[in-house]
Amino acid sequence: MRGLVLEDVRRVVHRTDLPDPTVTVPTDVVVAVRRAGLCGSDLHPYEGREPVRFGVVCGHEAVGEVVAAGTEVDGFAVGDRVLVPFTTSCGACGPCRRGLTARCVRGELFGFGPADDPTVPALHGGQAQYVRVPLAGSTLVRVPADVDDTAAVLLTDNLPTGWCAVERAGVGAGDALAVVGLGAVGLCAVAVATATGAGPVLAVDPVAERRRAAARLGAEVATPEDAAATMAALAPGDGAPAVVEAAGTTAAQRLACALVRPGGTLSVIAVQTGAGFGFTPVAAYDANLTVRFGRASVRAALDRVLPQVDDLVARLAQVVLTRPALDLADGPDAYARFARRDADTVKVVFAP
């Protein structure tokens, strides 16, 4: 099997000798991957900002077809076209019953193995020709019939994550919102906010091409340096009632905190790797902030998102998917471009 493997910091290797995954327990399936995404959170281990086990197949966003199924898989069969959300979930534990599928007590993150405990098996990721999916009956979701494989990659993580970010922010129609960080998740948050009637929406990023993408989705845009002045002009008074932080840096947290008006909500959706907050407890206290952190529960969110996306997936795909259908052999170069924040590399999709 061919696939991309993280072998060291800043070293992704295209391998052609990987073992094919198999059904190992009766609740597994094996999915033939048709499309796999490269996500911003893949950069954390790639750049050495998050400890992981090396030698694991990368990636946690996959769309494909079930080619093998265990005897206890409920609801899915060989031939089904499926989304693979980025974590597995059992659907029955306390967190799952509360809609917190991202924190399932039996859940695993695709493309990850703990660096400090080699006795815990890694779950290989989706940037390969095949991927094993544990807890398949409660993890997988069918791809909507009118969504093609490439666009469907957005549904495995970025679009439901952006949806959750806006949902947590608590904005309604006519409410101003700022989104700090315009990678794929930030752009999805912009699209969700504008589609649900929030506005004005201010989109903030240092990369001009990403600001142009946000403008195509209906946002006003600004550089980080100009964000405060632009927000003041868009929402005269005391700032935005809510801000989404989708960049994952302490500088972005600090800026997001500065843009929220007193009594507002800071919705932090980006994966965090810093040892401290970008704002102080004093700043949060003095502004009476509500601060909401954490990984999006994509599997649970999809039940709410899919009936409402209509043409949003196709619209986002045209703007966000800047490098669709790359061969896995191009993976090492794609990772390097993504890490440099090249203008043409907002969202990479591989076609294994």
Scanning 260-347, the segments in alpha helix (DSSP H) are: 281-286, 298-305, 312-320, 331-339
Cβ atoms 267, 169 nearer than 8 A: yes
pLDDT for position 256: 96
Residues 20-61: pLDDT tens digits? 999 999 999 999 999 999 999 999 999 999 899 999 999 999
Burial of 150 (0-12, 13-18, 19+ CB in 10 A): middle
pLDDT for position 90: 97
pLDDT for position 53: 94
3-state helix, strand, coil in the chain (%, to 5): 35, 25, 45
CA distance 324 to 34: 12
Residue 109 CB contacts under 8 Å (≥ 6 apart), including other chains: 60, 86, 87, 123
What are the residue ranges in the chain where pLDDT is below 50?
Answer: none
For the chain, which domains are there? 3-157+297-350 (3.90.180.10), 159-293 (3.40.50.720)
How would DSSP label each residue in 147-211?
S-HHHHGGGGTHHHHHHHHHHHHT--TT--EEEE--SHHHHHHHHHHHHTT--SEEEE-S-HHHH
> Nearest Cα to 37, choosing from 323, 311, 273?
323
Residues 157-195: pLDDT tens digits? 999 999 999 999 999 899 999 999 999 999 999 999 999
pLDDT for position 310: 77
CA distance 299 to 284: 31
